[in-house]
Amino acid sequence: QVQLVESGGGVVQPGRSLRLSCTVSGFTFSNYAIHWVRQAPGKGLEWVAVIWYDGTNKFYADSVLGRFTISRDNSNNTLYLQMDSLRVEDTAVYYCARAGGWSGYDFGDHWGQGTLLIVSS
């Protein structure tokens, strides 16, 4: 069955960097766009970024533009989120979600369990 597993979360100081990973199975990774979505404690869902099936197009929320970079390795079925210049307000559970198809302009039909990032001094 379709599975997405996030990893790499933890506690990091403001201004530092961290890379999240999302490893998938149960479907042909290279055929699908993938999203990152986050949820701050007790808050709603916030879309973060998306990457097209082949990595050619990437889009970001204004709140992370210039600090976060989404990428993928289709040979290893893995999605990444490189997060630089982290801020306290980046504290959240980060989910990866498979898009409905190859385009990033699509809903998320399968979601991982999430990984928690805490940015604190």
Partner 1 sequence: DTQLTQSPSSLSASVGDTVTITCRASQGVDNYLAWYQQKPGRVPRLLIYAASALQSGVPSRFSGRGFGTEFTLTISGLQPEDVATYYCQKYKRAPLTFGGGTKVEI
111: left (phi over 0), alpha (psi -120 to 50) or beta: beta
Which residue's CB is nearer to partner 1, number 35 or number 72? 35
What span, in angstroms and rounded, lies between the C-alpha atoms of 95 and 37? 5
Which residue's CB is nearer to partner 1, number 27 or number 47? 47
**Residue 13 Cβ vs partner 1, minimum distance, rounded to whole Å:** 28
The contact set with partner 1 (CB under 8 A) reads 35, 37, 44-47, 50, 59-62, 95, 97, 100, 104-114
Find all residues with CB under 8 Å of 56, minimum gap 6, and list them. Answer: none
**Residue 16 Cβ vs partner 1, minimum distance, rounded to whole Å:** 25
